[in-house]
């Protein structure tokens, strides 16, 4: 390929981008008001022309100087041979592409400083706060542990993936949730009406954009790093994040599906990690994942009990509103019990993890006979959860270290 | 001598930023947008460089005023600095031209429209 063809390709890209940005920047209705869009747009292209004229002169002079001083040169077979001074004519493509595309991007980016400005202040802090930093580890840990225990080394995939499941993943999960819960939060007396609703409507669209922008690149990179198993698990993971709360799907309002989806939020990072690491699928591994999944379902179901009253008032369904507080608590306890027993069937040192089920069962057993009217009291036990989870994480880590030392 | 080119580029960048500062054109008007434009511009032109190098079109010179440090094959450390300068220069020229065009009295603009 010659320099000319290369330059034309990049100029074409620049022209398309420049035209698109300019169009988008000046197509906004606010511009049509005072000044009229044609005037703005005309001045934009005039300024581009003036800037290019100046750049062309500068290029002719300084490119010649730079080539004269032997800073760089070109393979003669690849250039037309037409020169301005010492500068090959193709070198003017650089400033041309820059001046066509970049001012367009600039006017598009700064259009809001002239148009009435949606106030994005507080979006990022609010998104971070809403994403519950205290729980970030709950999704990053399963991924990191699954990958590390399989590959036994820290490579870039471990680092990128752990970061993804630490922050962007949680941003998306809770960000999407806050946007689509806005309506029901407004109706929910427990959430304090308008003041209690976390995310103001003007931030809804930016929040969804933030979720997309922070997630899609990571998903693409991780998909790139793995094979079909990773693609499927990443797709399931991302789907569960969206489907849980997004309008139209709202899995969180579909009894049983709500607990299944919620548990997927925590188990799927581990599955992605295993897929990326190319783990061997053994019965022990499947039992471990199943136990983890049951643990997650139990956690979700029990968490729903405290909200029975407000959820019913707001007309929201959940596993707890459908089968009632008592049966939900009992179901959760049974799920934890089964999860613990399942661990006993895994290869050593897996059975040690069975003990982790005990504190959860003890924490919830007092509510064995809870009624729908006393359901709100389970909030006390729910708040102990976070700390129980940290304790469990600690025990799990010890078991992993033991496993590591036994197998290396 | 080895740092002459790099030094000149940095000096040029400094001058562009002075103009920017004096007339509040680019970074001093909207720092976030300016940072995005600059990053996009430099990365775009750098991709172009790498494509040219990969295709064997661009060859590094042995000029004595360059440091000779490479960040990739045929890609001297000065190149991204040059591209940064080019982007800043482009944007200062463009925003400056816009400023001048906006200063043309409205009446004159209307006359232009009538003529057109």
pLDDT per position as a tens digit, A200-259: 788 888 889 889 888 988 898 899 888 999 999 999 999 999 999 998 889 998 889 999
Task: For chain B, say whether A105 makes contact (Cβ under 8 Å).
Answer: yes
Q: What is the pLDDT of residue A44?
A: 92
Q: How far off is chain A from B87, nearest CA to CA, in Å?
A: 7
Give the domain-ending residue among A114, A133, A158: A114
CB A240 within 8 Å of CB A261: yes
**Does one domain contain both A89 and A151?**
no
**Does one domain contain both A75 and A140?**
no
Rounded to 5°, angle at Cα A26 from B33 and A111: 25
Task: For chain A, say whether B77 makes contact (Cβ under 8 Å).
Answer: no
Q: What is the pLDDT of residue A189?
A: 58
Q: What is the pLDDT of residue A325?
A: 94
In-domain check, residue A371: yes
A89 Cβ contact list (under 8 Å, min separation 6): A80, A82, A83
Rounded CA-CA distance A354/A365 in Å is 17
The CATH number given to whatever domain includes residue A400 is 1.10.600
**Does one domain contain both A75 and A150?**
no
Q: How far off is chain B from A115, nearest CA to CA, in Å?
A: 14
CB A75 within 8 Å of CB B56: yes
Q: What is the ipTM of this complex?
A: 0.87
Query: For A345, which DSSP code?
Result: T
**Does one domain contain both A59 and A190?**
no
Residue numbers of B between 6 and 25 with CB closer than 8 Å to A:
none
**Does one domain contain both A278 and A338?**
yes
**Does one domain contain both A106 and A165?**
no
Q: How far off is chain B from A113, nearest CA to CA, in Å?
A: 9
CB B96 within 8 Å of CB B30: no
**Does one domain contain both A303 and A371?**
yes
State the total domains in chain A. 2
Report the residue of chain A nearest B84, measured CA to CA: A98
**Does one domain contain both A50 and A183?**
no
Give the domain-ending residue among A88, A114, A140: A114
In-domain check, residue A119: no
Give the domain-ending residue among A84, A114, A144: A114
In-domain check, residue A41: yes
**Does one domain contain both A352 and A251?**
yes
Q: How far off is chain B from A224, nearest CA to CA, in Å?
A: 21
Inter-chain residue contact A109 with B90, CB threshold 8 Å: no
Indicate the residue of A6, A47, A94 with minimum beta-carbon distance to B57. Answer: A6
Segments of A60-183 assigned E as strands: 72-74, 83-84, 87-88
Residues in A closer than 8 angstroms to B63, CB to CB, are 69-72
**Does one domain contain both A288 and A229?**
yes
What are A373's two structure tokens?
């009217």
pLDDT digits (tens, 9 = 90+) for A369-397: 999 999 989 988 998 987 898 899 889 98
**Does one domain contain both A182 and A320?**
yes
A2, A38, A51: best to mutate for the B interface, most B CBs within 10 A? A51
**Does one domain contain both A204 and A150?**
yes
Highest mean pLDDT among A31-40, A104-113, A117-126, B19-28: B19-28
Which residue segment(s) compose the domain that A97 sits in?
A: 3-114
Inter-chain residue contact A72 with B60, CB threshold 8 Å: yes
Q: What is the pLDDT of residue B34?
A: 92
Residues in A closer than 8 angstroms to B91, CB to CB, are 102-103, 106
Inter-chain CB pairs, A–B, below 8 Å: 125
Query: For A369, which DSSP code?
Result: T
């Amino acid at each position: 390929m010659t320099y000319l063809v290369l330059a034309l390709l990049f100029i074409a890209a620049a022209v398309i981008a420049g035209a698109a940005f300019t169009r988008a920047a000046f197509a906004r209705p606010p511009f049509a008001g005072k000044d009229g869009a044609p005037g703005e747009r005309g001045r934009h292209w005039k300024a581009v022309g003036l800037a290019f004229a100046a750049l062309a002169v500068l290029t002719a002079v300084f490119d010649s100087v730079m080539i004269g001083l032997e800073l760089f040169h070109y393979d003669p077979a690849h250039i037309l041979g037409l020169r301005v001074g010492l500068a090959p004519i193709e070198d003017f493509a650089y400033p041309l592409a820059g001046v066509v595309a970049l001012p367009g991007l600039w006017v598009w980016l700064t259009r809001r400083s002239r148009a009435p400005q949606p106030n994005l202040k507080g979006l990022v802090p609010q998104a971070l706060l809403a994403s519950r930093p205290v729980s970030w580890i709950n999704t990053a840990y399963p991924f990191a542990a699954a990958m590390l225990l399989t590959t036994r080394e820290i490579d870039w995939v471990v680092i990128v993936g752990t970061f993804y499941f630490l922050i962007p993943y949680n941003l998306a999960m809770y960000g999407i949730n806050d946007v689509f819960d806005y309506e029901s939060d407004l109706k929910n007396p427990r959430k304090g009406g308008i003041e209690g609703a976390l995310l103001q409507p003007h931030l809804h669209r930016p929040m969804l954009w933030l979720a997309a922008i922070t997630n899609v690149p990571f998903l693409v990179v991780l998909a790139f790093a793995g094979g079909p198993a990773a693609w499927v698990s990443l797709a399931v993971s991302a789907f569960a994040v969206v489907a849980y709360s997004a309008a139209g799907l709202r899995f969180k309002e579909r009894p049983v599906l709500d607990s299944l989806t919620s548990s997927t939020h925590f188990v799927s990072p581990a599955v992605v990690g295993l897929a990326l690491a190319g783990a061997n699928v053994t019965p022990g591994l499947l039992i471990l994942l199943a136990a983890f999944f049951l643990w997650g379902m139990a956690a979700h179901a029990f968490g729903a009990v405290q909200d029975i009253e407000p959820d019913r008032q707001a007309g929201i369904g959940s596993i707890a509103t459908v089968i009632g507080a008592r049966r939900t608590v009992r179901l959760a306890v049974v799920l934890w019990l089964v999860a613990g027993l399942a661990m006993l069937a895994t290869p050593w040192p897996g059975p040690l993890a069975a003990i982790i089920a005990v504190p959860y069962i003890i924490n919830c057993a007092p509510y064995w006979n809870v009624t729908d009217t006393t359901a709100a009291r389970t909030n006390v036990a729910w708040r102990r959860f976070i700390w129980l989870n940290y304790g469990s994480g600690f025990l799990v880590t010890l078991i992993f270290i033991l496993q590591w030392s036994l197998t290396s | 001598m080895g740092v002459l080119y790099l030094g000149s580029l940095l000096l040029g960048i400094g001058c562009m930023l002075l103009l920017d500062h004096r007339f509040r054109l680019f970074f001093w008007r909207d720092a976030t947008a300016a940072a995005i434009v600059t990053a996009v511009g430099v990365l775009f032109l750098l991709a172009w460089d790498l494509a040219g190098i990969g295709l064997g079109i661009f060859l590094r010179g042995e000029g004595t005023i360059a440091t000779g440090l490479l960040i990739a094959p045929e890609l001297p450390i000065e190149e991204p600095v040059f591209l940064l300068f080019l982007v800043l220069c482009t944007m200062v020229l463009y925003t400056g031209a816009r400023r001048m065009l906006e200063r043309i009295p409205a009446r004159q603009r209307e006359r232009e429209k009538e003529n057109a």
